[in-house]
Amino acid sequence: MKTAAILTSRVMDAIGRLPGIATLDWCDRAAAAMSRMHHPSLATVLLATLDARGTIDRVEAAGGAVGVENHAAETNVRGMAKPPEAGETNPLAGAIRGAWSEGAWLGWTITGAHEGGAFVGTASQLGLLGGRGDSPFLRRWHAYNPADVIVGAVAMSHPGRFIIVEIGSSDASFRENEREQAVMAACLPALRKRLLTAIGDDPPERQKWLTPREELILWYLVAGKKVPQIAQELHRSIYTVHDHVKSLHRKLGASNRGQLVARALGHLGALNEPVDAGTDDGVH
């Protein structure tokens, strides 16, 4: 019980450090957070809309990560979860992340996951690993050859929209995974809440997600830098940086710098919730 509480605290802390904005690698970071419940492990996170038969209608975002031995969350100077460096993505994690495809069956059935409620099971319990079939689940995991895989899902308000998590480990002890299942069940609602803050309750258009350049400029703004300083540090014109800042205001529904900072730190609630206009602080 004590170990489960410690693991839950570690994963919850990592979830709390996920960006409060829709970055293109948000699901990679979420997978890294969830993978902290067991070492070694491989985790994948999918945000998707499913039809009544469990077929993936739309993939909004997918990510993968390898669990690290040091469970302390790596963070940057902003205290947020540190994104993977260039070239850092593990090939197995990338393969699993890329295996999610629209029009394909999920590979297992989500049951009892009402809005905000979580479904948690394992591949062994669901009979997903024993056969030799060509199921989507086996295709995702065959290269890793896991001892078991914990699968979980939590429903969003939008009909058929789910956050789906799969965590597998080649560690033989992972077959006794009641503790990790309990951690998954406790953490999925928190992951849902953080995703609502970053992405919103309705499937956004792809152009609403922040580009790496926009995210970088946003964090410069959070650090208190002015547009001319940012332009100088990035070796870009002031006009180019202004265009990025305008795009940030539009994508994040903010009317001033204070709201941009609050949105970046996850302090304004769900993305689709209205915020007070406040006063302009001269960011433009």
Q: Which two tokens stand for residue 283?
A: 């960011």
pLDDT of 157 reads 86
- Calpha distance 158→78 (Å, rounded): 32
Sheet holding 42-50, edge to edge: 56-66, 42-50, 161-169, 148-155, 118-122
pLDDT at 114 over 90: no
- Percent of the chain scored above 90 by pLDDT? 52
Q: How confident is the model at residue 43 (pLDDT cuts 50, 70, 90)?
A: very high
Query: Who's near 59: CB < 8 A, 6+ residues apart?
Result: 46, 47, 48, 100, 101, 102
At 256, phi and psi to the nearest 5?
A: -155, 175
pLDDT at 145 over 80: yes
- Calpha distance 218→249 (Å, rounded): 10
Tell me the range of 71-80, 175-184, 255-264 where mean pLDDT is highest.
175-184
Instruction: Compare 85 and 56 and report the one with higher pLDDT.
Output: 56
The answer to whether residues 63 and 29 touch, using CB atoms and an 8 Å cutoff, is: yes
* Secondary structure class of 151 (helix, strand, coil): strand
**Over residues 224-252, mean pLDDT:** 92
Q: Which of 48-57, 95-104, 163-172 has the lowest mean pLDDT?
A: 95-104
pLDDT of 81 reads 47
* Secondary structure class of 115 (helix, strand, coil): strand
Q: In the chain, at which residue ranges do the beta strands (DSSP E only) sit?
A: 42-50, 56-66, 118-122, 148-155, 161-169
Domain annotation for the chain: domains and CATH numbers: 2-199 (3.30.450.80), 210-264 (1.10.10.10)
The answer to whether residues 92 and 30 touch, using CB atoms and an 8 Å cutoff, is: no
Q: Which of 72-76, 97-101, 125-129, 267-271 has the lowest mean pLDDT?
A: 72-76
Which amino acid is it at 54? G
Whole-model pTM: value is 0.82
Other Cβ atoms closer than 10 A to 175:
12
Q: How confident is the model at residue 284 (pLDDT cuts 50, 70, 90)?
A: very low
- Percent of the chain scored above 70 by pLDDT? 82
Radius of gyration of the chain (CA): 19
The answer to whether residues 25 and 270 touch, using CB atoms and an 8 Å cutoff, is: no
pLDDT of 85 reads 42
- Calpha distance 230→244 (Å, rounded): 11
- Calpha distance 63→96 (Å, rounded): 8
Q: How confident is the model at residue 75 (pLDDT cuts 50, 70, 90)?
A: very low
